[in-house]
Structure 1
Amino acid sequence: MKNLNILRFILILSITTYSLSAQIKVVCIGNSITEGWHGNPSYVPTLQKLLGTDYIVENNGKSGATLLKKGNKPYYMQDAFSRALKSNADIITIMLGTNDTKSQNWDNYKSEFKSDYESLIDTLQSTNKNAKIFLVIPVPVCKDNYGIRNDILNLEIPIINEIADEKGLSVIDANTPLLSSCNYFNDGVHPNDLGAKAIAKMIYQNISK
């Protein structure tokens, strides 16, 4: 009986280990819109619920992060980036650029936005060789706040689309569908519950195809 119980335990452990290893790993890269900020929810938990147990979704957002390497808080310098590099992800979503619209960032280093974005992608691909990468167009800025400017965000969008086209990557447009949904952003920048659910749904519909 004792040996039988041991065998059962080993079998259950093996099944559990296999189930975990068989899960599709999704790594979400971004700023406070991804991480969540001051009571404003992250979309990542909702994305996990939508994808279900066949997936494991990791939140690698960092509040205030910029895509620009010379920005005031480069994503490249954050622990979240280190985790993403080591994640062995199957799918990576990148939604950065919102904080880059601040004057101290864009006005000084806008010419480096494309090359820094390409560098981020290349670095992620160097350690996550089998990952499918999705570039997420940042959500609209319904009200300029915290130095974040929607007119500059609109300048970033064609650059992101150009990078995706040149690298053969998929784009998830989280901007256009929310242009008329400013009630989804209490402070004009960060999504509330409705906004987080809408973002999660858009990402889910694209990565689960």
Structure 2
Amino acid sequence: MKRGKSTEAGPSSSEKQENMKMSENPEMLTPHDDDDDADDGITGFVPGPLVPLKEQIEKDKDDESLRRWKEKLLGCVEGDFSGQMEPEVKFHSISIISNDFGEIVTPLPVNENQNGKAMFTLREGSEYRLKLTFTVLHNIVSGLTYINTVWKGGLQVDQSKGMLGTFAPQKEPYIHTLEEETTPSGVLARGTYSAKLKFEDDDRRCHMELKYSFEIKRST
């Protein structure tokens, strides 16, 4: 199973100086609005203002080490100078990987004909992973996180959270596999579940919110 490359982006020297100025003046910091998923412990800082990708590349040209670092990080996005500042994460597919059946790939967005149908079926007590394929466009997306919430019979029974990382725009899609999960066991665990998978960055931009359902059956 091939994992995608997670390219992490760091601040330039001028951005570090700006962040130091902001930390010295608390009035310049603007906290995020609270929402249902705000208190997740994943994001813990207020990011600086967005800067167009072309401007980020052209900054600090006289700093040789920063120039080489940016060439390594952003050398593959020379054609993505649209001027759009906000990053865009385009999800291509979601896969479920399990020893029960191997891998099932579902293209995104989900076909309307699949609405109301179980995306996959697992045996109780089995291990599985979700795998994502996505592309980052226009700008660096910082601190991309996920929250996967699961309900059964209208009651929330599970919620998992995690950090995917920081990604630079590139032509080739990223492939990222989430943490391994284990389905519950027992009579009460069997049945149909509904779930919502949500992806946000440090600026609380929601890049995708996927509602799906799955079934847990008796182990044979």
Q: Shorter-chain-normalised TM-score: which range?
A: under 0.3
Higher strand share: 2
| Structure 2 length-normalised TM | 0.24
Higher helix share: 1
| Structure 1 length-normalised TM | 0.25
Q: Which has the larger radius of gyration?
A: 2
- If asked which structure has higher relative contact order (CA below 8 Å, sep 6+), I would say 2
